[in-house]
Structures are given as structure tokens and as C-alpha cells.
Structure 1
Amino acid sequence: MNTSKAIELLKKKGYKTTGKRKDILTFFDDADGYRTAKELIQHLETIHDGISFDTIYRNLHLYHEMGILELTELNGEKHFRMSCTHHHHHHFICKDCGKTKDIDVCPMDEVKKTLVNYSIEDHKFEIYGLCPACQTA
């Protein structure tokens, strides 16, 4: 997903695309990996005087519900990134800088063998650690 596709989806669902909403989307589109609401707020405060925390959190929740943003939790804090929609994959997530690396292996084939009579609706597989740059820092 990118900013223009996210804006198309918002319009299709009847949501207005304000300057603040576009700036939030652009922040995540430009980000390399997961980012926190705090990082977003710090960025938006340089562009929009007096931006409301409620506005930011309401939009983060909306974008996550619509599938525009992915959500994960690192060190007890919610982190967001633009959703990956080009193919099915999972992520390695650096616990220090939030950068991600795609993992094309999916463990669900093995899991389905042990859950034969269960209805699986969705799954998420993430590996956490330190990226090479953070290991040497």
C-alpha cells in the first residue's frame, strides 16, 4: 500500500482526505519499518500547530481497521507501518530501530496439520531481534 492507494480507499469508503490525513499516510509511506504514534506526533507537530493527540490516535485506529496500516507491539508500545499488500509474507522486526525485512516462508502449512478440525481465520508471524546495523552500534 502507498499513500495514493490509501487515499483512494478512504474516498471509496466515504472518508474525507484532509491534509492531516495525507500527512499521516505520507509519514508511514516514507518510513522504513514500524514507527510509533509518538514519532508521528513529533513529525506532525513540525507541520501542524496544535495537532490533537485524539486526531492522531483516531486516524491510526481507522487506518489499522481499514487495512492501510499494520500494527505490532514492541517493548509494550504499539508500532505501525504501511500494510504490505503485494504478496503474502511475514516480517523480521528490529526491536531497536523498527526496520523490517520480509520473510517469504510461512509456517501455516505445518500449523494446519496440527489444527485439522479448526477453522483458521487469519494469522500473523513475526520474528523479533536486532538488524545488522543495530548489532554493530
Structure 2
Amino acid sequence: MNQSVARPSTAVRSTRQKRAVEAVMASSDDFRTAQEIHDALRRGGDSVGLATVYRTLQSLVDLGEVDSVKTDGGEAVFRRCSRSHHHHLVCRHCGRTVEIAGPAVERWAAAQAREHGFADVSHTVELFGTCTSCQQVLETS
């Protein structure tokens, strides 16, 4: 007996909730937590559940439309970024983020892969520090 198995679609529906999360993501250049995004939605009058925000963010990460990194404390934060391969320099105080290229890192990763016989290698490098503005605030405190 032949049975047809429904397969999940690779297309992502454009729901009201997804559009609302995308709008919040487009309004900031810095990494934000799911809770911060949820709070912004609520302040804007959107009734989107926190679980929906997490699911939407994960789908956007899976599609390559949003980057996700873990902070020093292990919390996931999200940001809409360019599609080209890059790394981030993130202020651990205010969240200010700069996309950076890392040609030395790229060469090192490729050399390590070759040396150990690996192929199709990917990597993530995130640098956390204190931006100039936060340094000034901390020095005057």
C-alpha cells in the first residue's frame, strides 16, 4: 500500500507575527534578546507570545536572515546582518555591534581544516568587549 507522506515546506509563511518580529529586527543594528524583542512588540501594541518570538527568530536564523550569538553569560541574542560571511565585535554593556572581517581567522580555519583532513568547515567568531562610549561612562562612575 502506497502512502503519501506530507513533507514540511521549505517556504516560510509570512504571518502577522513574523512581519512584526522582522520590523523590530529592522529597527535596530544591535543584538537583542528574544525578551527585548517581545517587550518592543508589546510596547508597540502587538500581541505576540514569547514562544512565537523564539520560534520566529529561530526560523529567521535557519534562513540566514538573522544572526544569533551567545553572550558571555550564555544568552542567545539576535541581529539582522549582512548575508556575507563576517564576525561581530559586541559591547557587553550596551550591545553596540560592529560587523568585522577576519581574513587571518579565515586563513587559520582553512589551514586547520586542511591539516586535519576536514572539508566543508564552518566557524563562528564573536569578540566581546567594551565600546568607547561605555568605557567613558564606566570611567566617570
Task: Calculate the TM-score normalised by the size of structure 1.
Answer: 0.80
Is 1:17 aligned to 2:17, yes or no?
no
CA contact (8 A) 2:88 2:98 kept: yes
Is 1:98 aligned to 2:92, yes or no?
no
Q: How many residues align?
A: 125
What pairs up with 1:1-137 in 2 under 5 angstroms?
A: 13-48=10-45, 50-74=47-71, 75-85=73-83, 87-106=84-103, 107-116=105-114, 117-137=117-137
Q: Which structure is larger by alpha-carbon Rg, 1 or 2? A: 2
Question: Whole-Å Cα distance in 1 between the matches of residues 122 and 109 of structure 2?
Answer: 12
Question: Whole-Å Cα distance in 2 between the matches of residues 72 and 110 of structure 1?
Answer: 21
1:33 offset after TM fit, Å? 1.4
Q: Which amino acid aligns with 2:78?
A: F
Question: Whole-Å Cα distance in 1 between the matches of residues 52 and 80 of structure 2?
Answer: 18
Structure 1 stretches of at least 4 aligned residues deviating more than 6 Å after TM superposition: none
Question: Whole-Å Cα distance in 2 between the matches of residues 88 and 114 of structure 1?
Answer: 18
User: Residue 5 of structure 2 aligns with which residue?
Assistant: none
The two structures, once aligned, show a CA RMSD in angstroms of 2.0
1:50 offset after TM fit, Å? 4.2
Against the structure 1 CA distance between its residues 81 and 49, is the aligned structure 2 distance closer, same or farther, given a 3 Å change threshold? closer
Unpaired runs of 5+ residues, structure 2, are 1-9
Range with greater deviation from structure 2 (63-72 or 100-109): 100-109
The structure in which a higher percent of residues are strand is: 1
1:32 offset after TM fit, Å? 2.0
